[in-house]
Amino acid sequence: MPASTLCVEFEKIDLSKHREIIIMSEFFHMSGYAFYVWTSYGLAFVVLLANIIIPFNEKRAFLRTLNRKLRRKHRDKNEQKA
């Protein structure tokens, strides 16, 4: 096929209406590396979420332990007075 025919056939296709769809498709496909890229994003999200949740749980457990020790200490102190 001559190059001029190829260009004419390409110009007949109206991509302006579907440009956003093509761009989003290319974005999610990521030139064939989509699996690796999205897996990396997912793993990074899980690690960041764990870095937020784990310290809150440890703080809550520490405060519960401290509260139990303080109650035990006050209870023992009151029993010694009685």
Q: Which residues, including other chains, have CB under 8 Å from residue 28's CB and lie 6 or more apart?
A: 34
Higher-pLDDT residue of 29 and 57 is 57
HSE-up of 55 (CA within 13 Å, CB side)?
5
* Single-letter amino acid, residue 43: L
For residues 31 and 37, the answer to whether their CB atoms sit within 8 Å is no
pLDDT of residue 21: 73
Higher-pLDDT residue of 24 and 7 is 24
Mean pLDDT for the chain?
Answer: 82
The mean pLDDT value for 9-31 works out to: 69
Reported confidence tier of residue 8, pLDDT bands at 50, 70, 90:
very low
Q: Is the pTM of this model over 0.75?
A: no
Distance of CA 82 to the CA centre of its chain: 57
